[in-house]
Amino acid sequence: MAQLVLPRLSASATKDEASLWLGGLVFTVGHGFHPDTPPSDYIGVDTGEPSFDPHTAETLSVDLDTAFGILGDGIYDDACWFAWRLQHNLPREPVHDLRARLLLALQIIDPNGEYSDRDAFRNGRAPMTLSSAKDALNRLLSE
């Protein structure tokens, strides 16, 4: 069974908190994750056994419903984004890293720009590197 290290998702969570929680679930389940699949349906490839015990599966199901309530249909985009990061062995991109902070700054300064990894994924581009985020921020600040 998969080791679960996810906290419970509060009904009062923000969209960012719900998205990061979803990312944790995607990284726990792996490439076969889909938001419409009940957690009780995941089976370990190596073991043929359920990935989660019944109590954990029920808890995840409740929290996944909460995530749907917070994210709406955006849950599918977020799941694809995290699956893409998993496929390319990229971390879930915690907000505390410098690159993530620069991307957030770019989005605040230029809300019509496309700077997030999600934007890059949707448009078939590679995510911005730390260096390219610094360059973009310098260009915006010098305008």
Number of domains in the chain: 2
Residues 72 and 103 in one domain: no
**Which residues are bridge partners to 43 per DSSP?**
50
User: Is residue 32 domain-resident?
Assistant: yes
Q: CA 121 → CA 11, 22, 29, 129, distances in Å? A: 28, 17, 21, 14
35 found inside a domain = yes
Kindly report which listed range (68-72, 88-92, 108-112, 120-124) carries the lowest average pLDDT score.
88-92
What range defines the domain where residue 60 resides? Answer: 15-87
28: left (phi over 0), alpha (psi -120 to 50) or beta: alpha
Residues 121 and 71 in one domain: no
Q: Which of 67, 59, 16 is nearest to 40 (CA)?
A: 59
Q: What is the pLDDT of residues 29-84, one digit of tens each?
A: 888 899 999 999 999 888 899 989 999 999 999 999 999 999 998 888 888 878 87
Phi, psi of 10 (to 5 degrees): -75, 145
Does 128 lie in the same domain as 72?
Answer: no
Tell me, yes or no, whether 34 and 56 share the same domain.
yes
Same domain, yes or no: 29 and 72: yes
Q: Is the domain of 109 the same as that of 61?
A: no
Does the global pTM surpass 0.95? no
Verify that 71 and 46 share a domain, yes or no.
yes
Domain identity same for 77 and 26: yes
Of residues 36 and 87, more confidently modeled: 36
With respect to residue 46, please indicate whether it lies within any of the assigned structural domains.
yes
Give the pLDDT confidence score for residue 2 in this predicted structure: 53
Looking at residue 1, what is its pLDDT? 61
Asked if residue 44 is part of any domain, the answer here is yes
